[in-house]
Amino acid sequence: MSHAHTNLRRVPVQQRSADRLARILDAGASLLDETGYEQLSTRAVADRAGVPIGSVYRFFPNKRALVDALAERNLQTYAERIVARLEVIPEREWRAAIDAVLDEYLAMKRSVPGFALVDFGPPVPAAGPLDEEVNRLVAGRLAELLSGHLGRGHDGAASDDGLLRTVLVCVQAADALLQLAFRADPEGDPGLVAETRILLRAYLAHVLE
């Protein structure tokens, strides 16, 4: 899958420019873990990346655009990791597929710099329309990847709209529960994570079986 670069002022063409962009995003991600979003500055990102401040502004007009691009990269990485997992899971094995989707998210939440604060959308003070927009974006990507494993053709997911609705319900429910789990424990409260897995499996069993 190619990176859409929808949040960039300028799309890198040469490898050197692409490498510089990657360093800028990596720097932003590590600083998010250290300072949080409010204290993040483009100057600090430039210093951490070892590039002139003009290089940051060549790609991003402000820190919000940088964080949006980081969220986009996170979603791309997440999709690639899921694709790799699904390659060894037979179609229609939806339980294993859903476990893979959940496990990859948890692994990124625990290990990818900046992901704890910015997973697939910019940090916001409270739930609102932006959260819903991000969840619909994630659900759309996952619906594409999981169409074979979630059994398009079953009554509950017989159409593209039905499949998207099914995945959106999973994403919305898991998002709420996992936010709670990671507020309770930086590694994700094990009990809440386990309950999230049970909830997803129970809902999909109702829809798909």
Confidence of residue 150 (pLDDT cuts 50, 70, 90): confident
Q: What is the pLDDT of residues 34-93, one digit of tens each?
A: 999 999 999 999 999 999 999 999 999 999 999 999 999 999 999 999 999 999 999 889
Residue 43: how many other CB atoms lie within 10 Å: 11
CA atoms within 13 A on the CB side of 57: 4
Separation between Cα atoms, residue 84 and residue 89, nearest integer Å = 10
Confidence of residue 8 (pLDDT cuts 50, 70, 90): low
CB 108 within 8 A of CB 77: yes
Helix, coil or strand: residue 154 = strand
**Report for 51-65, 139-153, 183-197: range of highest mean pLDDT:** 183-197
pTM for this model (two decimals): 0.87
Q: 191-199: which pairs have CB atoms within 8 A and are 24 or more residues apart? A: 193/106, 196/102, 197/99, 197/102, 199/173, 199/174
Q: What is the pLDDT of residues 15-30, one digit of tens each?
A: 888 899 999 999 999 9
Which pLDDT does position 11 carry in this prediction? 61
**Burial of 209 (C-beta count, 10 Å sphere; 0-12/13-18/19+):** exposed
Residue 29: how many other CB atoms lie within 10 Å: 22
- Rg from Cα positions in the chain: 18
Site of tokens 């990671």: 182
Confidence of residue 10 (pLDDT cuts 50, 70, 90): low
